[in-house]
Structure 1
Amino acid sequence: MMKPLACETMLALCGLEPPEPMERVIAALRTLADDCFLTMHIDREPLPLFALLARGGYDYEMRGSLGGRYEIDIWRRA
């Protein structure tokens, strides 16, 4: 399924130490409307998050960028 285009919430997580980035993502997902998606910016690949998203019914798309930073869109599966 493609990500929804209705609205976007952004989280800037670069420079935060674990587990704070994961905690912020989980808190944001709890309030995410079905027709919205979350974009997170982080300076490391959040591997533990991907399994959590799969179990929780979310899809994601990750893009890497220069300098080891990642942009990840997360949305609820239909």
Structure 2
Amino acid sequence: MISISLIRNLGIDEYEFNFQFHSHSNYPSALALSDTLNFLGVDNSAYELEKEYWNEIPTDFITQYNIVPLKVWTANLKS
């Protein structure tokens, strides 16, 4: 969920942001966020980076990350 304080900090209209973001055909996604910010005149870029390039990320950024679920394997062991 996008923070209200982030929207206000960017100086964009909260109602217009929510309308554009929630009505985007790819909502919820990073693409929907980027397209909404572009529509509202906020310069932004989206990248998919490997960990080795994290040191090149600007000081101010928004992130979306995926956590791979831990698979627990069980076995029926017979004596």
Q: Which has the higher helix share?
A: 2
Larger Cα-atom Rg: 2
Normalising by structure 2, we get a TM-score of 0.32
Normalising by structure 1, we get a TM-score of 0.33
